[in-house]
């Protein structure tokens, strides 16, 4: 496992977490995640010769945890700048910070799967050419 590569790629989650804390990024954040999915998938395709699924899934999980960690640490600012999420989280039976961390982990798993699929698409294109 190339943990240096995984953590360096997953640090993008911190950047997007900061973006979401200080701005209302409900529209722009998914665009950044999608663009970065293609960039990360290409990087994993070229730099990880074997055990690619584990690398990409750990990357996705860490992205989600890093992103949610920033949002949870700065929850007051995050909820103040994102009123849609503030309304949703206030209706939940658990604390907003716990819900942010749970959704971050869930998002990370899903994001890792999406990036892995894109990686496999890149791989299949490379073998057919």
Q: 30-37: list long-range contacts, CB under 8 Å, 24+ apart.
A: 33/111, 36/12, 37/111, 37/114, 37/115, 37/118
Q: Each residue of 16-59: pLDDT tens digit?
A: 999 999 988 788 889 999 999 999 999 999 998 888 899 999 99
Nearest to 56 by CA among 109, 123, 121: 109
Residue 127 has pLDDT above 60, yes or no: no
Q: What dihedral angle (degrees, nearest 10) is formed by the CA atoms of 30, 61, 38, 67?
A: 40
Binned at pLDDT 50, 70 and 90, residue 89 comes out as confident
Q: Each residue of 29-38: pLDDT tens digit?
A: 899 999 999 9
Mean pLDDT taken over the chain: 90
């Amino acid at each position: 496992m190339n943990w240096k590569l995984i953590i360096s790629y997953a640090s993008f989650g911190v950047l997007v977490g900061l973006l979401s804390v200080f701005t209302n990024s409900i529209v722009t954040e998914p665009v950044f995640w999608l663009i970065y999915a293609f960039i990360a998938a290409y990087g994993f395709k070229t730099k990880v010769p074997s055990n690619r699924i584990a690398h990409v899934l750990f990357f996705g999980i860490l992205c989600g945890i890093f992103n949610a960690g920033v949002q949870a640490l700065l929850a007051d600012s995050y909820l103040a700048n994102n009123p849609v999420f503030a309304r949703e989280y206030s209706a939940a039976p658990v604390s907003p910070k716990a819900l942010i961390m749970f959704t971050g982990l869930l998002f990370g798993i899903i994001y890792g799967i999406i990036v892995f699929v894109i990686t496999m698409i890149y791989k299949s294109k490379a073998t057919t050419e």
